Amino acid sequence: MEIITNDNTNAAQIDRDGENKSVWQLNAKKETDNGFFNADTVYDSVIVGAGITGVTTALLLQRAGQNCVIVEAHNPGYGTTGGTTAHINTFADTTYADVEKDFSPKASQQFADSITDSVSLIAELVRTYNIDCDFEWKNGYVYAETDAQAEELTDLYESALRVGVSVKTTEHAPAPVVYKKAVVFDKQAQFHPLKYINALLAEFVRLGGAVVEKTLIDEIKTEDGYHIAKSKDREIKGKNVVYATHIPPGGVNVLHFRNAPYRSYVVAVELTDEKDYPDGLVYDMQEPYHYFRTHVIDGKKYLISGGHDHKTAHGDPEQSFADLVNYTKECYSVKSVLTKWSSQYYVPADGLPYIGQMPGVANGIYAATGFNGNGMILGTVSAIVISDIIAKGESAYEDLYKPSRIKPIAGFKEAIKENADVASRFITDRFGIEEIESISQIPNGTGEIFDYKDQKLAIYKDLSGNVKALDPVCTHTGCIVQWNNSEKSWDCPCHGGRFDTSGNVLTGPPRIALKQIDIHTAEEK
């Protein structure tokens, strides 16, 4: 019998899935214990992943009388929750007009209602548990700079009104540039995401839940009426399993082909003039787009500026950061840059997230993915939907978000486009690779795919000249990984798997590390 008590406790440092530190990591530590885990217990629900989706789901189920365990490959908040910009909105990247057109007016209303429920739940949890997470109600401003953008904004505005979302036109948006039209959504919010989920974890444990960290689930097997989540070191049994891992991990699943991975870039900067900090959440409609807000960290105000997204492993992360910093400086009087970081999200083929029973697997295995750039609200929507299905047998939003849905009109073209890109990368990334004769040719502090002694290798050379070489073939579907010099990771351009410089999995869907290659470089350093 294995029992874990108070595992990884006492103000543990919170890490993230990249080299750069988010502003949230600078002043947040996990200060609660992890409860009691018993390997002999058949838990009601095993939640895989300790971001906002997993932690909220676990808490709601525990409050409903279930006995749950959270299993996390790293530490809580390690993935996108630790890298979000933490906007809480009553509107989403997929507009209500988009949902009306691609689904139906009824679907648009349900989408709006579920988002309203999500915002209300976050506020209720903050209030009920007196959570100190910098939660503040704010107005959210969206502005258009061109006639074409103004037309899009009109669609956003009118469709939001049709589903009962509170929004008005305004001539007083705190936009950093001249604009043609602006609207304002009230009752938006912001918070410190790591402080928030740490507080939810503390309440989950107080109610009898258990948290198991640093445990990567390799596979799920189903037998004798329950599921077994297996890792290298242990087996965890549950009547239900929830993949709250941003995208379901493991072998090829239909959801891997209905979601495309993207990265978004963020900087936290100090401004020279106190009055320049916007009081509200501010969004433009450019392509690539930008968004701004203010947050106080350790008593100092910072502008959090984000945007310049691109598909994972398709763009230049360092260029995206440079462009974002330059644009922020064009709009605001920047005194200094505190930190910069990037984060990953998945864009769903038909615009809506996939939440519920996972297709192609045994009943009782659930997934939540495809949040676009709205992880805080749609992660919470996912927790509401999945916890209702498990605890009550149904959810009002179950059919809308069902992962097995097929929307030929809304999703077919996008899925075809993204999967054509996957096929293209699978082939083209294997050609045109630079050949080198000596590792000494590689500059320190860089990584790249090279042809070296008749084999393709992913080679990273650190600032001291130490070399790590890996097989560059992603262990998920065989695409060739690409080097992310900003986050110091190997990123897959097909389905968004990411690996550290030693080949270990940072984020799924792959479960297996990249193979390390010994190239005997000691004499060449």
CA–CA gap between residue 480 and residue 493 (Å, rounded): 8
pLDDT at 522: 37
212-226 residue pLDDT tens: 999 999 999 999 889
Question: Which pLDDT band, with edges at 50, 70 and 90, does 57 fall under?
Answer: very high
pLDDT at 431: 57
225-264 residue pLDDT tens: 899 999 998 999 999 999 999 999 987 788 998 999 999 9
Packing angle, helices 193-206 and 105-128, rounded to 10: 70
DSSP E strands: which ranges in 149-258? 167-169, 181-190, 210-212, 219-223, 226-230, 235-243
Is the pLDDT confidence value at 521 over 60? no
CA–CA gap between residue 135 and residue 188 (Å, rounded): 11
Is the pLDDT confidence value at 415 over 80? no
Q: Which CATH entry fits the domain spanning 434-524: 3.40.50.620, 2.102.10.10, 2.30.40.10, 1.20.1250.20? A: 2.102.10.10
Q: Please give the structure tokens belonging to residue 81.
A: 């929750």
CA–CA gap between residue 4 and residue 73 (Å, rounded): 16
For residue 381, CA distances in Å to 213, 344, 371, 397, 405 come to 24, 19, 10, 9, 18
pLDDT at 525: 40
pLDDT at 429: 57
pTM of the entire predicted model: 0.93
CA–CA gap between residue 392 and residue 389 (Å, rounded): 6
Q: Which CATH entry fits the domain spanning 3-84+194-257+351-413: 3.30.750.24, 3.60.21.10, 3.30.1490.100, 3.50.50.60? A: 3.50.50.60
Mean predicted lDDT score pLDDT of the chain: 91
- Rounded to 5 degrees, what are φ and ψ at 380? -75, -40
CA–CA gap between residue 47 and residue 3 (Å, rounded): 18
Is the pLDDT confidence value at 417 over 70? no
Domain extent listing, the chain:
3-84+194-257+351-413, 434-524
Is the pLDDT confidence value at 7 over 80? no
Is the pLDDT confidence value at 185 over 60? yes
Q: Please give the structure tokens belonging to residue 250.
A: 């493991």
User: Stretch 487-493: mean pLDDT, rounded?
Assistant: 94
CA–CA gap between residue 411 and residue 406 (Å, rounded): 8
Is the pLDDT confidence value at 35 over 80? yes
Q: Judge if 3-84+194-257+351-413 and 434-524 fold alike in CATH terms.
A: no
pLDDT at 32: 75
DSSP E strands: which ranges in 364-499? 365-369, 434-436, 446-452, 455-461, 467-470, 482-484, 489-491, 498-499
pLDDT at 520: 65
pLDDT at 250: 80
pLDDT at 354: 97
262-320 residue pLDDT tens: 999 999 999 999 999 999 999 999 988 999 999 999 999 999 999 999 999 999 999 99
Residues 296/383, Cβ–Cβ less than 8 Å:
no
Task: For 105-128, give one letter per residue: b (16+ CB within 10 A) or e.
Answer: eebbbbbbbbbbbbbebbbebbee
pLDDT at 198: 96
